[in-house]
């Protein structure tokens, strides 16, 4: 995969992903293209858009992101999201 050769989100912290001008104008646009490409590579029936995020809704996806934070410290901003739901 072209994107993974540029920045491997499987081993590197996705929050450190830089922009990739050949396919996007900024980092956020590149991250969205990368996500779409990875989902399609995993399963041709998985699609993602901001208006239709169904591919990311299963509990298993949430747990994988949470485990990545705990195991590697990657996606540190996700801890702020989790803390927003912790009670006292």
Q: Based on the fold, state whether residues 50 and 63 are members of the same structural domain.
A: no
Domain count, the chain: 2
Q: How far apart are CA 9 and CA 27, in angstroms?
A: 13
pLDDT 10s digits, 3-29: 999 999 999 999 999 999 999 999 999
Instruction: Pull the structure tokens for residue 51.
Output: 């208006």
Same domain, 2 and 26: yes
Which ranges in 2-88 belong to alpha helices (H)?
A: 2-6, 27-42, 59-72, 77-83
d(Cα 75, Cα 65) in Å, to the nearest integer?
8
Query: Which one, of 30, 3, 11, 10, lies nearest residue 19 by Cα?
Result: 30
Taking alpha carbons only, the member of 47, 27, 49, 37 closest to residue 4 is 37
pLDDT per position as a tens digit, 28-70? 999 999 999 999 998 998 889 999 999 999 999 999 999 999 9
Whether residues 18 and 47 share a domain: the answer is yes
Q: Are residues 4 and 35 in the same domain?
A: yes
Query: Do 81 and 48 sit in the same domain of this protein?
Result: no
**Both 42 and 78 in a single domain?**
no
Domain of 85 in residue numbering reads as 58-88
Q: Is residue 49 domain-shared with residue 71, that is, in the same domain?
A: no
């Amino acid at each position: 995969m072209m994107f993974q050769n540029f920045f491997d989100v499987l081993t590197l912290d996705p929050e450190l992903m830089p922009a990739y001008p050949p396919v996007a104008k900024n980092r956020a646009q590149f991250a969205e293209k990368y996500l779409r490409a990875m989902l399609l590579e995993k399963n041709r029936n998985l699609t993602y858009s901001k208006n239709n995020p169904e591919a990311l809704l299963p509990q298993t996806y949430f747990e994988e992101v949470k485990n990545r934070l705990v195991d590697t410290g990657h996606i540190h901003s996700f801890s702020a999201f989790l803390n927003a739901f912790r009670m006292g």
